[in-house]
Amino acid sequence: MIDSKISDILQDIKESSPGQNEFYQAVEEVLFSIKPLLKYDNKYLDNNILSRIVVPERTIIFRVNWLDDKGVVNTNLGYRVQFNSVIGPYKGGLRFHESVNLGIVKFLGFEQIFKNALTNLPIGGAKGGSNFNPKGKSDNEIMKFCQSFMTELYKYIGKNRDVPAGDIGVGSREIGYLFGQYKKITGDFDGVLTGKGINWGGSFARKEATGYGSVYFAKEHLAVYGDSLEDKDCVVSGSGNVSIYTMKKLYEFGAKPIACSDSRGTIYHKKGIDIASLISVKEVHRDSLEAYAKLHHDAKYIDTAHYPSGGHAIWHIPCDLAFPSATQNELNLIDAKELVKNGCILVNEGANMPTTPDAIEYLLNSGVKFSPAKAANAGGVATSQLEMSQNASMTQWNFEEVDIKLHQIMKNIFKTAYGSSKEYGADGNLIVGANIAGFKKVASAMIDQGVI
């Protein structure tokens, strides 16, 4: 009965939202994994929560026109999916990447609902972005695009309504241009965006939060099995915000990140990735990782053209711990088999939905511990909420204060997800634990607030 109800819902969304494969993948994982809860308490089915929760409260799609440096008019699509606001104002990042479409934004927004609930902070779920590709654009073009994007988006956001942040392709530079335009149009200097500059309303440790939080989570996960990060060789895909600060924190706990990647290739540096060089290559010069190999002759660069057939080079490098921290579906079954063969003991997701469903199944069946993104990468949004709190009270906490709160939040998220997995008979399966804990909180609030 529960299986057929879930299958009907999946069929409905496939018919009403054609071609949104990543969204179906995210919904399918959540709905099937919460079956132990649905069996135990039928109020969720009785109130038709499943059919309601998979439909965004509001979807905004808009045109973004902007002039490039040659004076040519360009047109992109802008999105904001305001998915669920029962536990707080909509909250979730903006992604600027050529692959962005409605299905991608909906999968990210759907995941965000449960992630935000897990933080135990009052934030609802949303996500947005554009198919704008920032690569190769001048600062002036990025600014023009951000201004045009905000000229439409500002109508739908607000410090108590919807508070966007960064994601792929949206860092402090883009948040600055977006905030400047918002303030110019509305005249309000308020906490409408997070990830702001430290000198103008930002929070210390927000930049580091997702990566640091991911490592705090991995530490808790290993501790349950009497293990630690000490002396572990780690591979961390991506070389952006999440990846860089994951690697930085890994060093602090005595682990060694030996490989990272970007959209063009992978770096394998056996003696350990040099974080200062990496920041210089990726954050300062916005260059490809090939430039890192030119600075370190003992590092090996593998171009995507030379990746193993059907797989991704980074997961084929022997490691103890794997931190997928680039993008969705970047770790597939071929990669998972290689990780298992090489003795990897933990996959800790920093990116959103980076592991394909068949890869997850293989890893779990092979005894690899698995930290799902919803729980493991929630440190970013949690610290964004801390930024909102500081803005609302017109204060600024120092780095250590924020970091201590972040660390405690990650410990609590682990405890919640792990405890919930035990309570519902899933014995340490954190996918089940995190999804049930997040869903329960949101679904109960939906019931409390009536049919609206």
Tokens, residue 104: 């991608």
Under rule CB under 6 A, residue 264 binds ligand NDP: yes
Minimum CB–partner distance for residue 243 and ligand NDP (Å): 6
Q: Is 45 exposed, middle or buried (0-12, 13-18, 19+ CB in 10 A)?
A: middle
Minimum CB–partner distance for residue 376 and ligand NDP (Å): 9
Site for ligand NDP in 165-224 (CB under 6 A): 166-169, 210
Give the integer Cα–Cα distance in Å for 13 and 15: 5
Q: Which is nearer to ligand NDP, 242 or 437 (CB)?
A: 242
User: What's the Cα-to-Cα distance from 258 to each of 35, 203, 350, rounded to whole Å?
Assistant: 39, 30, 16
Catalytic residue among 106, 127, 144, 248: 127
Q: Which is nearer to ligand NDP, 330 or 403 (CB)?
A: 330
Amino acid sitting at position 327? T
Select from 29-37, 162-170, 391-399, 408-416 the region that touches ligand NDP (CB under 6 A).
Answer: 162-170
Decide if 142 contacts 174 (C-beta within 8 A).
yes
Q: Which is nearer to ligand NDP, 74 or 263 (CB)?
A: 263
Q: Out of 129, 164, 201, 380, point to the residue binding ligand NDP (CB under 6 A).
A: 380
List, edge to edge, every strand of the sheet that includes 90-96. 58-67, 73-84, 124-130, 90-96, 162-165
Q: Out of 246, 352, 355, 429, point to the residue binding ligand NDP (CB under 6 A).
A: 352
- The closest of 41, 80, 39, 77 to 57, measured between CA atoms, is 80
Minimum CB–partner distance for residue 450 and ligand NDP (Å): 31
Report the interhelical angle of 379-392 vs 206-224 (nearest 10°).
Answer: 130
Active site annotation includes 127 = yes
For the CA atoms of 401, 209, 199, 97, the dihedral, rounded to the nearest 10 degrees, stands at -170
Q: Out of 30, 157, 326, 410, point to the residue binding ligand NDP (CB under 6 A).
A: 326
Give the integer Cα–Cα distance in Å for 433 and 239: 29
Q: Which is nearer to ligand NDP, 82 or 116 (CB)?
A: 116
Minimum CB–partner distance for residue 389 and ligand NDP (Å): 17
Under rule CB under 6 A, residue 241 binds ligand NDP: yes
Decide if 26 contacts 113 (C-beta within 8 A).
no
Q: Where are the beta strands (DSSP E) in 199-255?
A: 233-236
Minimum CB–partner distance for residue 398 and ligand NDP (Å): 20
Select from 21-29, 62-70, 237-245, 395-403 the region that touches ligand NDP (CB under 6 A).
Answer: 237-245
Under rule CB under 6 A, residue 266 binds ligand NDP: no
| Residues contributing to the site for ligand NDP (CB under 6 A) | 166-169, 210, 238-243, 261-264, 325-327, 330, 350-352, 377, 380
What positions carry a catalytic annotation?
A: 127
